[in-house]
A and B are shown apart, each in its own frame.
Chain A
Amino acid sequence: MRMSTVLETQRLDATFAALADPTRRAMLARLAVHDATVNELAAPISLSLQAVSKHLKVLERAGLISRGRQAQFRPCHLEPTALLAATDWIEQQRRLWSERFDQLDGHLRELQGRGSDDG
Chain B
Amino acid sequence: MAEPATGPDLVYTRVFAAPRTLVFECMTRPEHLTHFWGPAGTSAPLEHIKVDLRPGGVFETVMVSDADGSRMPTRAVFVEVTEPVRLVWVETQSGMTSTATFVELDDGRTEVEIRQTNAPEAYRAPAARAGFTTSLDRFADYLDQQGST
Chain A residues close to B by CB (< 8 Å)? 1-2, 5-6, 8-10, 12-13, 16-17, 19-21, 89-90, 92-101, 103-109, 111-112
Q: Known contacts A5-B140, A10-B133: does B14 contact A20 (CB below 8 Å)?
A: no
Rounded to whole Å, the gap between the CB of B137 and the closest CB of chain A is 5
- State how many angstroms separate the Cβ of B34 from the closest Cβ of chain A: 9
Whole-angstrom CA separation of A104 from B140 in the bound complex: 24
Chain A nearest Cβ from B148, distance in angstroms: 13
> Which chain B residue shows the least CB distance to A14?
B123
**Cβ contacts under 8 Å, A89 to chain B:** 136
Binding site for A on B (CB under 8 A): 6-7, 10, 12, 14, 16-18, 22-23, 26-27, 32, 35-37, 39-40, 112, 114, 116, 119-121, 123-124, 129, 132-133, 136-137, 139-141, 143
CB pair A108 B26 closer than 8 Å = yes
* A23 vs chain B, min Cβ distance (A): 12
B40 & A99 in contact (Cβ 8 Å cutoff): yes
> Which of A1, A21, A92, A109 is within 8 Å of B139, CB to CB?
A92
A89 to B139, CA, bound (A): 10
- Cβ–Cβ < 8 Å partners of A94 in chain B: 10, 12
> 8 interchain pairs (CB within 8 A)?
A2-B141, A19-B7, A20-B7, A20-B124, A95-B39, A105-B17, A107-B36, A108-B17
